[in-house]
Amino acid sequence: MAVQQTREPTRIGYHTTGNGSAAPRIFLQPIAAPSVLGLFGFAGATFIVAANLAGWYGNHTTSPLYLAPFAAMFGGVAQFLAGMWAYRARDALATAMHGMWGSFWIGYGVLNILLATHSLAAPKVWYHQPEVGYWFFALALITGTGALASLAESLGLFAVLSTLAAGSGILAGAFLYGSESWATVAGWVFVFSAGFAWYTASAMMLASTYGRTILPLGKYTREANVPGGHAMHPIEIEWAEPGVRMGQ
């Protein structure tokens, strides 16, 4: 989920010159920062589900069935696509995190469809689901690794992934051992993660549209953290590929 502004991939083609020799032609393919969509998708899906998990509204039996379509499409499909576009931008961290969590939200939607059609039996107690607990155990482990990697990007991104990893770990324990109180705590932690994701995506979008920093992200260059500073850089040669910038 890197937060550099844009990268322009290249395609190299050839055309025949007048003397019959082949001369290279370079085609620039600009793309927007995929993590803007990915983080907004994550923030929206996580907030509505986490607020229910924290007990802000609804119940834990029928409410998830209403939340699943939104979570599966916005948090799942949209975020997964952002991960694949991040792959095109050579952003390994964003590819892994958006791809993984997008897949999770799609799986969340499928699980609720199976429960709604009674293809799977609903758990007797909503906060004791050892099978789903292991989902979150794996998510916590990988997201924690991503949080360490995000320290090379910005403190804003680290805030998103560290709280996400913590919430996943807490919920894993709650589901494995059947603790309603810890499941509620996990919901609150996820709400904070969703808020950090909203802020980070908003900062990236505003910087892209205004061409300068509006909301600081805690990056390691001073100009990127001062509102009004110009954090974006012109297209330049990197790794001998004209027009290519790594990351977002």
pLDDT, position 7: 43
Query: Which domain does 89 fall in, by range?
Result: 33-224
Q: Which H/E stretch holds residue 14?
A: strand 10-16
pLDDT, position 236: 43
Q: Given CA atoms 116, 121, 125, 127 in this order, what sign does their dihedral have?
A: negative
Is residue 235 included in any domain, yes or no? Answer: no
Residue with structure tokens 């209403």? 66
Total domains, the chain: 1
Rounded to 5°, the CA angle 116-188-36 comes to 80
Confidence of residue 140 (pLDDT cuts 50, 70, 90): very high
171 or 207, which is more confident?
A: 171
pLDDT, position 3: 42
pLDDT, position 90: 87
4 or 67, which is more confident?
A: 67
Is residue 16 included in any domain, yes or no? Answer: no
CA distance 85 to 163: 24
pLDDT, position 128: 97
Is residue 237 included in any domain, yes or no? Answer: no
Is residue 63 included in any domain, yes or no? Answer: yes
Is residue 18 included in any domain, yes or no? Answer: no
Count CA atoms within 13 Å of residue 138 on its CB side: 9
Is residue 26 included in any domain, yes or no? Answer: no
pLDDT, position 86: 92
pLDDT, position 230: 57
Mean pLDDT of all residues in 148-174: 97
CA distance 166 to 159: 11
Mean pLDDT of all residues in 215-229: 73
pLDDT, position 8: 45
Is residue 245 included in any domain, yes or no? Answer: no
Length of the chain equals: 248
Is residue 234 included in any domain, yes or no? Answer: no
Q: Is the pLDDT of residue 10 over 70?
A: no
Mean pLDDT of all residues in 165-192: 98
CA-atom Rg of the chain in angstroms? 21
Mean residue pLDDT across the chain: 85
Q: What is the value of pTM for the model shown?
A: 0.82
238 forms beta bridges with: 241
Q: Is the pLDDT of residue 238 over 80?
A: no
